[in-house]
Copies of this chain bind each other. A is one copy, B any other.
Amino acid sequence: MTNEDSNHPTFSSKSEKGITGRKIIYDKDGKPCRACNTLLDFQLVTGKVSDSGPSTGLGKLGSSLGVLGNQTKVNGYAKEDPPDVEQLGRSSWSLLHSIAAAYPVSPNDKQRSEMKQFMTLFSHVYPCWWCAKDFEDFIKKNSPKVGSRDELGLWMCEAHNEVNEKLGKSKFDCSFWKNRWIDGWD
């Protein structure tokens, strides 16, 4: 991902706003990036849905649900579409917080070094290139705190909150990170 950033068009070069109000993000080949946009915006910009809704009669919401209009199966698998930027974000944060929750309370040197390396590589291979770039920049300024499970869990919570803030979402109260990701609320 890192090596290719300079080849990506800048945000302003070809961007326009989608139905959701987000800017449309393109890949370096000029095509809309599926992993970087919401499904609805991706469908809009690829002509699969219009501002007035798709031809299925389900409206924008039905279309954005994807599978609603397409219940056929392959080998018992529903023909699901690739995840969009929001599904990918939810899945990935869920995994990253759970990784912190399972990190040793007192990690050894190898575990500390592997966790730092993992976070750096994660920021190189993440499918949404502009999210990956953001995460890489965050890591450069805020090196992952890998001294203990507590440290990593709080660091992850703060990393997530930085993204929440950029997206205009409310911040999670990090004093509850263990309830959310280890112990539950009961």
Given contacts A70-B185, A125-B99, contact A172 B77 (CB under 8 A): yes
CA distance A35 to B48 in the complex (A): 38
Copies of this chain, complex-wide, total 2
Chain B residues whose CB sits within 8 angstroms of the CB of A110 once the complex forms: 3
Question: Which residues of chain B come closer than 8 Å to A170, judged between CB atoms?
Answer: 75-77
Q: Is A9 on the interface with B (CB-CB < 8 A)?
A: no
Q: Residues 80-94 of chain A: 1 if any B CB is under 8 Å from the residue's CB, otherwise 0?
A: 111100011011101
Q: State whether A108 touches B182 (Cβ < 8 A).
A: no
Residues of B within 8 A of A70 (CB): 185-186
In the complex, the answer to whether A101 meets B114 with C-beta atoms within 8 Å is: no
Residues of B within 8 A of A104 (CB): 4
In whole angstroms, how far apart are the Cα atoms of A170 and B76 in the complex?
7
A81 touches B129 (CB 8 A): no
A181 interface hit (Cβ, 8 Å): yes
A118 engages B108 (CB within 8 Å): no
**Given A88-B98, A92-B91, A98-B35, A118–B127 Cβ distance below 8 Å?**
no
5 A-B residue contacts at CB 8 Å? A3-B108, A90-B91, A101-B127, A114-B121, A118-B122
